[in-house]
Protein backbone atom coordinates (compact mmCIF):
# COMPACT_ATOMS: atom_id res chain seq x y z
CA UNK A 1 0.00 0.00 0.00
CA UNK A 2 1.38 3.39 -0.90
CA UNK A 3 1.08 5.89 1.88
CA UNK A 4 2.98 9.07 2.51
CA UNK A 5 5.59 8.85 5.25
CA UNK A 6 5.18 12.56 5.99
CA UNK A 7 1.55 13.30 6.60
CA UNK A 8 0.46 16.89 6.11
CA UNK A 9 -3.30 16.95 6.51
CA UNK A 10 -5.27 20.12 7.08
CA UNK A 11 -5.76 19.57 10.80
CA UNK A 12 -3.96 17.79 13.66
CA UNK A 13 -1.60 16.24 11.16
CA UNK A 14 1.08 15.82 13.81
CA UNK A 15 -0.84 13.06 15.56
CA UNK A 16 -1.76 10.94 12.57
CA UNK A 17 -1.22 7.27 13.14
CA UNK A 18 1.98 6.35 11.41
CA UNK A 19 1.38 4.43 8.20
CA UNK A 20 -2.32 5.21 7.99
CA UNK A 21 -2.27 8.30 5.87
CA UNK A 22 -3.05 8.84 2.25
CA UNK A 23 -4.06 12.51 2.24
CA UNK A 24 -7.53 13.99 1.88
CA UNK A 25 -9.47 12.65 -1.10
CA UNK A 26 -10.09 15.09 -3.94
CA UNK A 27 -13.85 14.86 -3.40
CA UNK A 28 -15.28 13.74 -0.08
CA UNK A 29 -18.64 13.04 -1.68
CA UNK A 30 -17.21 10.63 -4.26
CA UNK A 31 -17.98 6.93 -3.84
CA UNK A 32 -15.23 4.55 -4.88
CA UNK A 33 -17.01 1.57 -6.49
CA UNK A 34 -14.21 -0.67 -5.24
CA UNK A 35 -15.36 -0.33 -1.64
CA UNK A 36 -19.11 0.21 -2.00
CA UNK A 37 -21.82 -2.29 -2.86
CA UNK A 38 -22.92 -2.34 -6.49
CA UNK A 39 -26.26 -0.51 -6.26
CA UNK A 40 -25.04 2.27 -3.95
CA UNK A 41 -25.39 5.80 -5.34
CA UNK A 42 -25.95 9.38 -4.17
CA UNK A 43 -28.91 11.54 -5.18
CA UNK A 44 -28.69 15.22 -6.11
CA UNK A 45 -28.64 16.22 -2.41
CA UNK A 46 -25.81 13.83 -1.69
CA UNK A 47 -28.02 11.35 0.13
CA UNK A 48 -26.79 7.80 -0.30
CA UNK A 49 -29.14 5.05 -1.45
CA UNK A 50 -28.76 1.29 -1.74
CA UNK A 51 -31.09 -0.96 -3.72
CA UNK A 52 -33.07 2.19 -4.55
CA UNK A 53 -33.77 3.22 -0.92
CA UNK A 54 -32.11 6.21 0.70
CA UNK A 55 -30.30 5.95 4.00
CA UNK A 56 -32.44 8.55 5.75
CA UNK A 57 -35.48 6.38 5.15
CA UNK A 58 -33.56 3.26 6.12
CA UNK A 59 -32.35 4.87 9.35
CA UNK A 60 -35.87 6.01 10.20
CA UNK A 61 -37.37 2.60 9.58
CA UNK A 62 -34.66 0.32 10.99
CA UNK A 63 -32.67 2.57 13.34
CA UNK A 64 -28.91 2.85 13.68
CA UNK A 65 -26.45 1.28 13.89
CA UNK A 66 -27.50 -1.25 11.28
CA UNK A 67 -25.89 -3.27 8.52
CA UNK A 68 -27.49 -2.81 5.09
CA UNK A 69 -26.77 -5.60 2.65
CA UNK A 70 -27.20 -5.25 -1.10
CA UNK A 71 -28.85 -8.55 -2.04
CA UNK A 72 -28.37 -8.03 -5.77
CA UNK A 73 -24.66 -7.53 -5.21
CA UNK A 74 -24.41 -10.61 -3.00
CA UNK A 75 -26.08 -12.75 -5.64
CA UNK A 76 -23.93 -11.27 -8.41
CA UNK A 77 -20.72 -12.01 -6.51
CA UNK A 78 -21.85 -15.54 -5.67
CA UNK A 79 -22.67 -16.09 -9.35
CA UNK A 80 -19.31 -14.66 -10.43
CA UNK A 81 -17.54 -17.29 -8.31
CA UNK A 82 -19.78 -20.03 -9.61
CA UNK A 83 -19.27 -19.00 -13.23
CA UNK A 84 -15.52 -18.49 -12.82
CA UNK A 85 -15.01 -22.04 -11.58
CA UNK A 86 -17.59 -23.66 -13.85
CA UNK A 87 -19.21 -27.07 -13.55
CA UNK A 88 -16.01 -29.00 -12.96
CA UNK A 89 -15.39 -27.31 -9.62
CA UNK A 90 -17.32 -26.47 -6.46
CA UNK A 91 -17.60 -23.19 -4.61
CA UNK A 92 -18.27 -23.46 -0.89
CA UNK A 93 -19.21 -20.13 0.67
CA UNK A 94 -17.48 -19.80 4.07
CA UNK A 95 -20.36 -19.16 6.47
CA UNK A 96 -18.09 -17.72 9.15
CA UNK A 97 -17.92 -14.48 7.13
CA UNK A 98 -21.65 -13.95 7.64
CA UNK A 99 -24.42 -16.50 7.88
CA UNK A 100 -28.17 -16.22 8.14
CA UNK A 101 -31.04 -18.24 6.76
CA UNK A 102 -31.68 -15.77 3.96
CA UNK A 103 -28.02 -16.03 2.95
CA UNK A 104 -28.27 -19.83 2.91
CA UNK A 105 -31.29 -19.61 0.59
CA UNK A 106 -29.52 -17.18 -1.75
CA UNK A 107 -26.49 -19.48 -1.90
CA UNK A 108 -28.68 -22.46 -2.63
CA UNK A 109 -30.45 -20.58 -5.41
CA UNK A 110 -27.17 -19.39 -6.92
CA UNK A 111 -25.68 -22.89 -6.93
CA UNK A 112 -23.06 -22.50 -4.21
CA UNK A 113 -22.25 -24.98 -1.47
CA UNK A 114 -21.60 -24.05 2.14
CA UNK A 115 -18.70 -24.41 4.56
CA UNK A 116 -19.70 -24.43 8.24
CA UNK A 117 -17.42 -24.60 11.25
CA UNK A 118 -19.66 -25.11 14.27
CA UNK A 119 -22.87 -26.77 15.35
CA UNK A 120 -24.54 -23.34 15.24
CA UNK A 121 -23.59 -22.74 11.62
CA UNK A 122 -24.64 -26.28 10.73
CA UNK A 123 -28.02 -25.77 12.38
CA UNK A 124 -28.54 -22.51 10.50
CA UNK A 125 -27.64 -24.14 7.19
CA UNK A 126 -29.90 -27.14 7.69
CA UNK A 127 -32.80 -25.09 9.00
CA UNK A 128 -32.75 -22.96 5.85
CA UNK A 129 -32.85 -26.00 3.60
CA UNK A 130 -29.27 -26.34 2.38
CA UNK A 131 -29.00 -29.98 1.30
CA UNK A 132 -26.62 -31.72 3.72
CA UNK A 133 -24.53 -33.19 0.92
CA UNK A 134 -23.64 -29.64 -0.14
CA UNK A 135 -22.25 -28.79 3.30
CA UNK A 136 -18.61 -29.13 4.38
CA UNK A 137 -17.89 -29.23 8.10
CA UNK A 138 -14.68 -27.57 9.34
CA UNK A 139 -12.97 -26.77 12.60
CA UNK A 140 -9.86 -27.68 14.57
CA UNK A 141 -11.78 -28.99 17.58
CA UNK A 142 -15.23 -30.19 16.57
CA UNK A 143 -16.96 -31.73 19.57
CA UNK A 144 -18.13 -35.34 19.43
CA UNK A 145 -21.69 -34.01 19.55
CA UNK A 146 -21.09 -31.75 16.57
CA UNK A 147 -19.46 -34.56 14.61
CA UNK A 148 -22.35 -36.90 15.37
CA UNK A 149 -24.88 -34.33 14.22
CA UNK A 150 -22.96 -33.68 11.00
CA UNK A 151 -22.63 -37.40 10.20
CA UNK A 152 -26.29 -38.04 11.02
CA UNK A 153 -27.36 -35.16 8.83
CA UNK A 154 -25.28 -36.60 5.99
CA UNK A 155 -22.92 -33.68 5.33
CA UNK A 156 -21.00 -33.99 2.07
CA UNK A 157 -17.64 -33.83 3.77
CA UNK A 158 -15.96 -33.39 7.10
CA UNK A 159 -12.56 -31.75 6.94
CA UNK A 160 -10.31 -33.60 9.39
CA UNK A 161 -7.91 -31.41 11.29
CA UNK A 162 -5.95 -33.69 13.66
CA UNK A 163 -4.94 -37.29 14.28
CA UNK A 164 -7.46 -37.53 17.13
CA UNK A 165 -10.23 -36.33 14.85
CA UNK A 166 -9.46 -38.96 12.22
CA UNK A 167 -10.22 -41.63 14.80
CA UNK A 168 -13.14 -39.75 16.35
CA UNK A 169 -15.00 -39.26 13.06
CA UNK A 170 -14.30 -42.85 11.97
CA UNK A 171 -15.75 -44.22 15.24
CA UNK A 172 -18.84 -42.08 15.12
CA UNK A 173 -19.50 -42.96 11.47
CA UNK A 174 -19.09 -46.65 12.23
CA UNK A 175 -21.40 -46.41 15.22
CA UNK A 176 -23.96 -44.83 12.96
CA UNK A 177 -23.43 -47.55 10.39
CA UNK A 178 -22.13 -45.25 7.69
CA UNK A 179 -18.96 -44.21 5.88
CA UNK A 180 -18.25 -40.50 6.13
CA UNK A 181 -16.69 -38.67 3.20
CA UNK A 182 -13.70 -36.70 4.52
CA UNK A 183 -10.84 -34.51 3.45
CA UNK A 184 -7.65 -33.99 5.45
CA UNK A 185 -6.60 -30.41 6.07
CA UNK A 186 -2.88 -29.94 5.73
CA UNK A 187 -0.57 -26.99 6.32
CA UNK A 188 1.61 -26.53 3.29
CA UNK A 189 4.18 -24.21 4.89
CA UNK A 190 3.31 -21.01 3.02
CA UNK A 191 3.77 -17.64 4.74
CA UNK A 192 0.71 -15.75 3.49
CA UNK A 193 1.16 -11.98 3.36
CA UNK A 194 -1.59 -10.98 5.74
CA UNK A 195 -2.16 -10.26 9.44
CA UNK A 196 -0.61 -12.91 11.71
CA UNK A 197 -3.99 -13.80 13.25
CA UNK A 198 -5.51 -14.73 9.89
CA UNK A 199 -2.56 -16.51 8.24
CA UNK A 200 -3.06 -20.26 8.43
CA UNK A 201 -0.63 -22.17 6.24
CA UNK A 202 2.66 -21.74 8.09
CA UNK A 203 3.41 -24.68 10.31
CA UNK A 204 3.45 -23.10 13.78
CA UNK A 205 -0.28 -22.78 14.34
CA UNK A 206 -3.35 -24.67 15.43
CA UNK A 207 -4.97 -25.57 12.09
CA UNK A 208 -4.26 -28.59 9.94
CA UNK A 209 -1.63 -31.30 9.84
CA UNK A 210 1.83 -30.30 8.61
CA UNK A 211 3.00 -31.55 5.26
CA UNK A 212 6.58 -31.14 6.42
CA UNK A 213 8.11 -34.05 8.30
CA UNK A 214 5.65 -36.53 6.83
CA UNK A 215 2.77 -35.93 9.26
CA UNK A 216 0.24 -35.32 6.49
CA UNK A 217 1.32 -38.54 4.75
CA UNK A 218 0.89 -40.39 8.05
CA UNK A 219 -2.60 -38.92 8.48
CA UNK A 220 -3.52 -40.20 5.02
CA UNK A 221 -2.16 -43.66 5.90
CA UNK A 222 -4.33 -43.81 9.01
CA UNK A 223 -7.47 -42.44 7.32
CA UNK A 224 -7.21 -44.92 4.45
CA UNK A 225 -7.20 -47.81 6.94
CA UNK A 226 -10.40 -46.85 8.76
CA UNK A 227 -13.67 -48.35 7.59
CA UNK A 228 -15.75 -45.42 8.81
CA UNK A 229 -14.00 -42.97 6.48
CA UNK A 230 -14.00 -42.41 2.75
CA UNK A 231 -11.02 -40.19 2.07
CA UNK A 232 -11.95 -38.03 -0.90
CA UNK A 233 -9.29 -35.37 -0.87
CA UNK A 234 -6.81 -32.95 0.62
CA UNK A 235 -7.61 -29.48 1.92
CA UNK A 236 -5.47 -26.37 2.29
CA UNK A 237 -6.44 -22.88 3.44
CA UNK A 238 -3.53 -20.47 3.56
CA UNK A 239 -5.12 -17.45 5.22
CA UNK A 240 -7.43 -14.54 4.67
CA UNK A 241 -7.43 -11.06 3.08
CA UNK A 242 -4.67 -12.07 0.65
CA UNK A 243 -3.88 -10.16 -2.55
CA UNK A 244 -0.78 -11.98 -3.69
CA UNK A 245 -1.67 -15.04 -5.80
CA UNK A 246 1.69 -16.71 -5.35
CA UNK A 247 0.75 -18.23 -1.97
CA UNK A 248 -2.24 -20.02 -3.55
CA UNK A 249 -0.04 -21.27 -6.36
CA UNK A 250 2.58 -22.70 -4.02
CA UNK A 251 -0.20 -24.33 -1.97
CA UNK A 252 -1.74 -25.91 -5.10
CA UNK A 253 1.67 -27.18 -6.14
CA UNK A 254 2.31 -28.80 -2.75
CA UNK A 255 -1.15 -30.33 -2.45
CA UNK A 256 -0.77 -31.94 -5.87
CA UNK A 257 2.67 -33.17 -4.74
CA UNK A 258 0.99 -34.96 -1.84
CA UNK A 259 -1.62 -36.49 -4.17
CA UNK A 260 1.21 -37.87 -6.24
CA UNK A 261 2.94 -39.33 -3.14
CA UNK A 262 -0.37 -40.91 -2.11
CA UNK A 263 -0.79 -42.47 -5.54
CA UNK A 264 2.79 -43.79 -5.45
CA UNK A 265 2.44 -45.22 -1.92
CA UNK A 266 -1.13 -46.50 -1.91
CA UNK A 267 -2.09 -46.79 -5.56
CA UNK A 268 -5.02 -44.47 -4.82
CA UNK A 269 -5.82 -41.27 -6.71
CA UNK A 270 -7.83 -38.97 -4.45
CA UNK A 271 -10.54 -37.31 -6.54
CA UNK A 272 -10.73 -33.85 -4.87
CA UNK A 273 -8.64 -30.96 -3.63
CA UNK A 274 -9.87 -27.92 -1.78
CA UNK A 275 -7.76 -24.78 -1.85
CA UNK A 276 -9.69 -22.83 0.79
CA UNK A 277 -10.71 -19.20 0.80
CA UNK A 278 -8.75 -16.05 1.47
CA UNK A 279 -9.09 -13.71 -1.48
CA UNK A 280 -8.75 -10.11 -0.27
CA UNK A 281 -11.26 -7.30 -0.83
CA UNK A 282 -10.95 -3.51 -0.94
CA UNK A 283 -11.57 -1.81 2.39
CA UNK A 284 -10.07 1.45 1.16
CA UNK A 285 -9.18 2.84 -2.24
CA UNK A 286 -5.59 1.69 -1.68
CA UNK A 287 -6.58 -1.98 -1.96
CA UNK A 288 -6.63 -3.69 -5.37
CA UNK A 289 -8.41 -7.01 -5.12
CA UNK A 290 -8.29 -9.80 -7.69
CA UNK A 291 -11.43 -11.02 -9.42
CA UNK A 292 -12.81 -14.57 -8.99
CA UNK A 293 -12.03 -15.44 -12.62
CA UNK A 294 -8.36 -14.58 -12.06
CA UNK A 295 -8.07 -16.92 -9.10
CA UNK A 296 -10.08 -19.60 -10.94
CA UNK A 297 -7.85 -19.38 -13.99
CA UNK A 298 -4.64 -19.44 -12.06
CA UNK A 299 -5.64 -22.31 -9.74
CA UNK A 300 -7.14 -24.43 -12.50
CA UNK A 301 -4.07 -23.95 -14.68
CA UNK A 302 -1.58 -24.83 -12.02
CA UNK A 303 -3.48 -27.89 -10.79
CA UNK A 304 -3.98 -29.17 -14.36
CA UNK A 305 -0.35 -28.58 -15.26
CA UNK A 306 1.03 -30.23 -12.12
CA UNK A 307 -1.31 -33.20 -12.48
CA UNK A 308 -0.32 -33.71 -16.09
CA UNK A 309 3.34 -33.66 -15.10
CA UNK A 310 2.65 -36.22 -12.36
CA UNK A 311 0.41 -38.27 -14.67
CA UNK A 312 -2.52 -37.90 -12.29
CA UNK A 313 -6.12 -37.40 -13.37
CA UNK A 314 -6.97 -33.78 -12.54
CA UNK A 315 -8.95 -33.78 -9.29
CA UNK A 316 -12.13 -31.80 -8.81
CA UNK A 317 -11.16 -28.44 -7.32
CA UNK A 318 -13.15 -26.65 -4.66
CA UNK A 319 -12.65 -23.24 -3.04
CA UNK A 320 -14.18 -21.55 -0.01
CA UNK A 321 -14.52 -17.79 -0.42
CA UNK A 322 -16.24 -15.94 2.39
CA UNK A 323 -15.10 -12.33 2.56
CA UNK A 324 -14.89 -11.94 -1.22
CA UNK A 325 -18.56 -12.88 -1.60
CA UNK A 326 -20.19 -10.96 1.23
CA UNK A 327 -17.63 -8.37 2.38
CA UNK A 328 -18.23 -5.64 -0.20
CA UNK A 329 -22.02 -6.13 -0.24
CA UNK A 330 -22.83 -4.37 3.05
CA UNK A 331 -22.17 -1.12 4.87
CA UNK A 332 -22.77 -0.17 8.47
CA UNK A 333 -24.88 2.91 9.03
CA UNK A 334 -24.17 4.94 12.18
CA UNK A 335 -25.47 8.19 13.58
CA UNK A 336 -23.00 10.77 14.83
CA UNK A 337 -23.54 11.54 18.52
CA UNK A 338 -20.69 13.88 19.37
CA UNK A 339 -17.83 15.69 17.65
CA UNK A 340 -15.08 16.43 20.15
CA UNK A 341 -12.19 18.67 19.10
CA UNK A 342 -9.13 18.29 21.29
CA UNK A 343 -7.08 21.36 20.45
CA UNK A 344 -3.73 20.55 18.92
CA UNK A 345 -4.45 16.85 19.25
CA UNK A 346 -7.27 15.24 17.36
CA UNK A 347 -10.97 15.36 16.54
CA UNK A 348 -13.02 12.44 17.80
CA UNK A 349 -16.32 11.65 16.11
CA UNK A 350 -18.41 9.30 18.26
CA UNK A 351 -21.00 7.07 16.65
CA UNK A 352 -23.72 4.92 18.14
CA UNK A 353 -21.96 1.54 17.63
CA UNK A 354 -18.31 0.56 17.64
CA UNK A 355 -16.22 -2.45 18.57
CA UNK A 356 -19.30 -4.54 19.34
CA UNK A 357 -20.42 -4.36 15.69
CA UNK A 358 -16.94 -4.18 14.15
CA UNK A 359 -14.06 -5.60 16.17
CA UNK A 360 -11.73 -5.76 13.18
CA UNK A 361 -10.11 -2.35 13.67
CA UNK A 362 -9.23 -3.15 17.28
CA UNK A 363 -8.26 -6.77 16.59
CA UNK A 364 -6.30 -6.54 13.35
CA UNK A 365 -5.59 -2.83 13.02
CA UNK A 366 -7.90 -3.08 9.98
CA UNK A 367 -8.42 -0.02 7.84
CA UNK A 368 -11.85 1.15 6.71
CA UNK A 369 -13.29 4.01 4.74
CA UNK A 370 -16.13 6.17 6.04
CA UNK A 371 -18.40 8.75 4.42
CA UNK A 372 -21.03 11.25 5.42
CA UNK A 373 -24.09 9.83 3.67
CA UNK A 374 -27.17 11.75 4.87
CA UNK A 375 -26.23 14.83 2.85
CA UNK A 376 -23.53 16.14 0.55
CA UNK A 377 -21.11 18.73 1.88
CA UNK A 378 -18.65 21.17 0.38
CA UNK A 379 -16.97 21.91 3.72
CA UNK A 380 -13.20 21.54 4.02
CA UNK A 381 -12.03 18.04 4.89
CA UNK A 382 -11.46 17.45 8.59
CA UNK A 383 -9.06 14.76 9.69
CA UNK A 384 -10.63 12.82 12.52
CA UNK A 385 -10.94 9.51 14.31
CA UNK A 386 -14.29 7.77 14.22
CA UNK A 387 -14.87 5.97 17.51
CA UNK A 388 -17.62 3.92 19.10
CA UNK A 389 -19.60 4.22 22.32
CA UNK A 390 -17.85 1.49 24.32
CA UNK A 391 -15.92 1.91 27.54
CA UNK A 392 -12.56 1.34 25.94
CA UNK A 393 -10.06 3.69 24.29
CA UNK A 394 -9.31 1.05 21.65
CA UNK A 395 -12.94 1.24 20.51
CA UNK A 396 -12.04 2.69 17.13
CA UNK A 397 -14.11 2.30 13.97
CA UNK A 398 -11.85 4.21 11.57
CA UNK A 399 -8.47 5.34 12.81
CA UNK A 400 -7.77 8.25 10.46
CA UNK A 401 -10.64 9.49 8.36
CA UNK A 402 -11.36 12.61 6.37
CA UNK A 403 -14.90 13.85 6.85
CA UNK A 404 -16.45 17.23 6.06
CA UNK A 405 -15.52 19.93 8.60
CA UNK A 406 -19.21 20.77 9.15
CA UNK A 407 -19.98 17.27 10.47
CA UNK A 408 -22.53 17.50 13.29
CA UNK A 409 -24.52 15.30 15.66
CA UNK A 410 -27.41 13.67 13.81
CA UNK A 411 -25.44 13.19 10.59
CA UNK A 412 -25.35 9.66 9.26
CA UNK A 413 -22.02 7.99 8.51
CA UNK A 414 -21.58 4.79 6.54
CA UNK A 415 -18.62 2.43 6.72
CA UNK A 416 -18.47 0.27 3.57
CA UNK A 417 -17.19 -3.28 3.16
CA UNK A 418 -18.54 -4.49 6.49
CA UNK A 419 -20.41 -7.52 5.13
CA UNK A 420 -17.77 -10.02 6.28
CA UNK A 421 -16.58 -10.71 9.82
CA UNK A 422 -18.49 -7.80 11.38
CA UNK A 423 -21.97 -9.08 12.30
CA UNK A 424 -20.49 -12.58 12.57
CA UNK A 425 -17.93 -11.36 15.11
CA UNK A 426 -20.27 -8.95 16.89
CA UNK A 427 -20.48 -9.02 20.68
CA UNK A 428 -22.61 -7.68 23.49
CA UNK A 429 -19.77 -5.80 25.15
CA UNK A 430 -21.19 -3.22 27.55
CA UNK A 431 -24.56 -4.88 26.94
CA UNK A 432 -24.78 -2.96 23.71
CA UNK A 433 -27.40 -4.61 21.49
CA UNK A 434 -26.20 -6.21 18.28
CA UNK A 435 -27.47 -4.38 15.17
CA UNK A 436 -29.83 -5.86 12.60
CA UNK A 437 -28.89 -6.94 9.10
CA UNK A 438 -31.28 -5.53 6.54
CA UNK A 439 -31.28 -6.85 2.98
CA UNK A 440 -32.16 -4.28 0.35
CA UNK A 441 -33.18 -5.11 -3.20
CA UNK A 442 -35.21 -3.38 -5.93
CA UNK A 443 -36.66 -0.73 -3.64
CA UNK A 444 -37.54 -3.16 -0.85
CA UNK A 445 -35.81 -3.54 2.49
CA UNK A 446 -36.26 -6.60 4.66
CA UNK A 447 -34.76 -7.47 8.04
CA UNK A 448 -32.90 -10.78 7.75
CA UNK A 449 -31.35 -10.70 11.23
CA UNK A 450 -33.31 -8.57 13.65
CA UNK A 451 -31.87 -6.11 16.13
CA UNK A 452 -31.16 -7.57 19.53
CA UNK A 453 -33.39 -6.29 22.29
CA UNK A 454 -32.95 -5.83 26.01
CA UNK A 455 -35.41 -8.71 26.42
CA UNK A 456 -33.00 -10.92 24.46
CA UNK A 457 -30.24 -10.00 26.88
CA UNK A 458 -32.38 -10.53 29.95
CA UNK A 459 -33.73 -13.85 28.68
CA UNK A 460 -30.23 -15.32 28.86
CA UNK A 461 -29.61 -13.89 32.30
CA UNK A 462 -31.36 -16.48 34.44
CA UNK A 463 -29.70 -15.79 37.82
CB of 30 to ligand LLP, least distance (A): 26
Per rule CB under 6 A, is residue 321 in the interface with ligand LLP? yes
The span from the CA of 224 to the CA of 243, in Å, is 36
Question: Would residue 391 show up in a list of annotated catalytic residues for this protein?
Answer: yes
Per-residue buried b or exposed e for 375-394, using 16+ beta carbons within 10 Å of the residue's own CB: bbbeeebbbbbbbbbbeeee
Binding of ligand LLP by 318 (CB under 6 A): no
CA-to-CA distance for 354 and 395, rounded, in angstroms? Answer: 6
Distances (CA, A) of 12 to 9, 21, 419: 7, 12, 31
Which of 82, 138, 148, 434 lies at the binding interface for ligand LLP (CB under 6 A)?
A: 138
Of 49, 141, 52, nearest to 412 by C-alpha is 49
Does 389 bind ligand LLP (CB under 6 A)? Our answer is: no
139 binds ligand LLP per the rule CB under 6 A:
no
Per-position b or e across 4-34, b if 16+ CB within 10 A of its CB: eeebebebbeeebeeebbbebeeebbebeeb
Nearer to ligand LLP, 350 or 356 (CB): 356
Of the CA atoms within 13 Å of residue 293, those in its CB half-sphere come to: 3
> Given the complex with ligand LLP, which of 57 and 206 has the nearer CB atom?
206
Q: State yes or no: residue 441 binds ligand LLP (CB under 6 A).
A: no
Stretch that binds ligand LLP, among 91-99, 104-112, 386-394, 444-452 (CB under 6 A): 91-99
Provide the mask over 181-220, with x wherever binding to ligand LLP is found by CB under 6 A and - wherever it is not.
-----------------x----------------------
Select from 233, 276, 354, 381 the one that contacts ligand LLP (CB under 6 A): 276
Q: Which of 95, 247, 278, 388 binds ligand LLP (CB under 6 A)?
A: 278
Catalytic residue among 117, 384, 391, 422: 391
Burial class (CB in 10 A: 0-12, 13-18, 19+), 342: exposed
Segment contacting ligand LLP (CB under 6 A): 169-177, 263-271, 277-285, 406-414?
277-285
With a CB cutoff of 8 Å and minimum separation 6, the contacts of 312 are: 256, 259, 260, 263, 269
Site string for ligand LLP, 32-71 (x = CB under 6 A): ----------------------------------------
The count of residues interacting with ligand LLP (CB under 6 A) is 22
Is 328 in contact with 77 (CB distance < 8 Å)?
yes
SS3 286: coil
User: What is the distance between the alpha carbons of residues 118 and 116, in angstroms, rounded to a whole number?
Assistant: 6
Residue 225 neighbours by CB distance under 10 Å: 11
CB atoms within 10 A of CB 49: 19
Shortest spacing between CB 284 and ligand LLP, in angstroms? 15
Residue 94 touches ligand LLP, criterion: CB under 6 A: yes
Tell me the catalytic residues: 391
Residues near ligand LLP (CB under 6 A) are 94, 96-97, 115, 138, 198, 237, 240-241, 276-279, 320-324, 360, 364, 420-421
Amino acid sequence: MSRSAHPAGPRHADVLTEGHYSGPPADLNALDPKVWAQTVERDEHGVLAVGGIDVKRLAEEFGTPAYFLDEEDFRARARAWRTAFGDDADVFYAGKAFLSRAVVRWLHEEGLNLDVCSGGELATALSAGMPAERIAFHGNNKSPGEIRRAVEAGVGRIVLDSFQEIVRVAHIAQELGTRQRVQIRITVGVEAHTHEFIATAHEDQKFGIPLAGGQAAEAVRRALKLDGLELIGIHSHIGSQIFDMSGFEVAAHRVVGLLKDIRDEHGVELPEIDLGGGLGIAYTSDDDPREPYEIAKSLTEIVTRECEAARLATPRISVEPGRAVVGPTAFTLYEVGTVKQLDGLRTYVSVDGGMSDNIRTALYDAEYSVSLVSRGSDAEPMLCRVVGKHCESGDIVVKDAYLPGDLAPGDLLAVPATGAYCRSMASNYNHVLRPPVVAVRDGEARVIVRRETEEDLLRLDVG
